Structure 1
Amino acid sequence: MNICKKEGKMNMTVEYPMSKLISERRTIRKFKEESVSTELLSDLLEVASWAPNHKLREPWRFIIYNGQGTKELADVMAEVISKGGKMKKSPEEMKNYFLSIPAHILVVMPEDPNPFIREEDYAATSALIQNFQLAAWERGIGVFWKTDSYLTLPYFRKRVGAKPGEKIAAILHVGYPDMTPNARPKTSISEKITVIDGKNEK
């Protein structure tokens, strides 16, 4: 609690670290060369796994490309484009882009044949990803959460080891921020809230 005196009165303001963490987190697109250890990534995923998930299904697994592993994924991306994957970058540009990022995490989940369970599992996996972003930001690490269409390409799926019946929910680019963008204006949440509390009822 922060207590200060203002205009002859005691002004008490309460600081909420989690609220600050959520509001200050940014998507990072440019990273330093500094590596992030696999142990640290695993620790962050362990924290993130406390995301709510119905019946504790824990509908996720992870493929981490780190260190020399980033070259393997960069080669896959260059091959994807060479084989007709529609990208804005050339194979060499895409390869260099992936090599410029210290670590990559593929978030993989089962695609249950029951659409209701599938929706629940995707929601839980998304909650885990947000947990990961926040836990990483707390440690000074940035994340770029991407859901590009190449994640669905059969060739890409085969090369990274996605199994039949699995969905690659996201790829997370991870590293220490080289540049942190400023906050962008957001719509006031009051414009998106409908309150039903009975106060206006006759």
Structure 2
Amino acid sequence: MNGETQVANLIKSRRTVRLFKDDVVPEALLLELLNVAVWAPNHEHRQPWRFILFQGVARSIFAEAMVRTYSSEDREKYGPKKRAYLEAVPAHLIVLLKEDPRQKKWDEDYAAVCSLIQNFQLAAWERGLGVVWKTNHYNYDPGFRETVGAQPGEKIVGVLHIGYPDIVPPARPRIPAEELLTVFG
């Protein structure tokens, strides 16, 4: 085990998964993972997050809402393929941030929600699930937001596509921290 901890190995082994098996992801498992993820550090214990889950037949609602954000030309060109892909992904979890107009609080809360998403990805990976965290243009589209249930004053921090991996991509190299660290002292 080259001196690394289980947590270090889990972090290094996690991959972004985009191709999933058809297997249903039990809602109970997703709730279990979310209940781990909510242990993310968050300033003043604000817990500034909320979740919306699309599974089963509701995946078509999510897919249609996303495809409607395309221009008519792109909808015709890419829509059927994208719709088929999104309807095949076992689960779509939208992670929302309760926005705060005070910049410092907003920054702290955004960081907390990002930490929650990373916790979720790691907990999911440990349980054999793959996740891809998407921050695409549709997160800002008013029609998409309304259809999926995002409320005024909430930012969609990410849409997580979740399922059992069909293909796990290889690791991609990282820049060593030594090349990025500036030390004073």
> TM tier, shorter chain?
over 0.9
Equivalent residue in structure 1 for 2:26, among 37, 54, 57: 37
Percent identity over paired residues: 48
Q: How many residue pairs end up in the alignment?
A: 185
Matched-pair contact (CA < 8 Å) for 2:129–2:162: yes
Q: After superposition, where does 1:9-88 map in structure 2 within 5 Å?
A: 14-81=3-70
TM-score normalised to the size of structure 2?
Answer: 0.93
What is the RMSD of the two structures over their aligned residues, measured on CA atoms?
A: 1.9
Q: CA deviation at 1:53?
A: 0.2
What residue ranges of structure 1 are gaps of 5+ in the alignment? 3-12, 198-202
Bigger relative contact order (CA 8 A; separation at least 6):
2
- Corresponding residue for residue 165 of structure 2: 177
TM-score normalised to the size of structure 1?
Answer: 0.86
Matched, 1:104 2:92: yes
Question: Relative to 1, partners in 2 of residues 1:128 and 1:88: Cα closer, same or farther, differing over 3 Å?
Answer: farther
Q: Which moved more, 1:104-113 or 1:130-139?
A: 104-113
Q: CA deviation at 1:17?
A: 0.5
> Partner of 1:169: helix, strand, or coil?
strand
Higher-Rg structure is 1
Q: CA deviation at 1:14?
A: 4.1
Q: CA deviation at 1:67?
A: 1.6
Question: Relative to 1, partners in 2 of residues 1:77 and 1:182: Cα closer, same or farther, differing over 3 Å?
Answer: same
Matched, 1:127 2:115: yes
> Partner of 1:134: helix, strand, or coil?
helix
